[in-house]
Amino acid sequence: MLTRTLLSLAAISLAAAPLMSQGPSTLYDLKTQTLVGQPADLSAYRGKVTLVVNTASECGYTPQYEGLEKLHRELSPKGFSVLGFPSNDFGGQEPGSGEQIAEFCRKNYGVTFPMFSKLSTRPGPNQSPIYALLGTSGNLPAWNFAKYVIGKDGKVVAFFPSAVTPESAELRGAIAKALAR
């Protein structure tokens, strides 16, 4: 009887192994690089609410950098951070190097929020693990400046398309609700 029970438990463990090896389950389980190529561990944001945005320097939505920076400065004392992930996926609107992107953001919008290395948001072999994970929410960016509100646990709590601005009541409400949890 004991042998049969042990064999059953082993079979259950083996059956569950593929589920456990499917990779990270939250944004805060991932690692990436900063805009200037330094290692970055997103676990540094565990316990905070973050707003993940796919950015681009030559987009009609680029002026949203100003509102994103304002949001970051206003709410960072409450445990919030904007996280920028440049992408050249849509219209080739982020052609620059990491250094060029950093300079553009600092010079034109005074960006102080964390910016990470350029990545691909689109499904396929080049898709960033970050956007592969975010896509499990059922939403992927259709254009630059799509926004994901990430809860303190590292899971997506809300998604907003590009046209939703950092000043919108809808976005600010979702952030406030996540901060209150």
pLDDT at residue 131, as a whole number: 98
CA 145 → CA 14, 27, 94, 181, distances in Å? 42, 18, 12, 25
pLDDT at residue 123, as a whole number: 95
- Residue 106 pLDDT more than 60? yes
Residue 143 covered by a domain: yes
Q: What pLDDT, in 10s, does the model give residues 147-173? A: 999 999 999 999 999 999 999 999 999
Q: What percent of the chain has pLDDT over 90?
A: 86
Residue 145 covered by a domain: yes
Q: What percent of the chain has pLDDT over 70?
A: 87
Q: Which domain holds residue 103?
A: 24-180
- Residue 95 pLDDT more than 50? yes
Residue 70 covered by a domain: yes
Name the pLDDT band for 146 (thresholds 50, 70, 90): very high
- Residue 29 pLDDT more than 90? yes
* C-alpha dihedral (7, 11, 13, 18), degrees to nearest 10: 160
Among 147, 173, 174, residue whose Cα is nearest residue 162: 147
What distance in Å separates the CA atoms of residue 166 and residue 144, rounded to the nearest whole number? 14
Residue 167 covered by a domain: yes
pLDDT at residue 67, as a whole number: 98
On whether the CB atoms of residues 88 and 59 are closer than 8 A, the answer is no
Name the pLDDT band for 45 (thresholds 50, 70, 90): very high
- Mean of per-residue pLDDT scores for the chain: 90
Termini Cα distance of the chain: 47
Q: Which of 30, 35, 59, 146 is catalytic?
A: 59
Query: Which ranges constitute the DSSP H helices of 83-167?
Result: 98-109, 129-135
Question: Which of 12-21, 25-34, 64-73 is the least confident region?
Answer: 12-21
Residue 11 covered by a domain: no
Name the pLDDT band for 22 (thresholds 50, 70, 90): low
Residue 161 covered by a domain: yes
Domain tally, the chain:
1
Residue 46's CATH number = 3.40.30.10
Name the pLDDT band for 12 (thresholds 50, 70, 90): very low
Q: Which residues, listed in sequence order, are joined to residue 150 by a DSSP beta bridge?
A: 50, 156
On whether the CB atoms of residues 62 and 94 are closer than 8 A, the answer is no
Residue 14 covered by a domain: no
In the residue annotation, 105 being an active-site residue is answered as: no
pLDDT at residue 24, as a whole number: 79
Residue 42 covered by a domain: yes
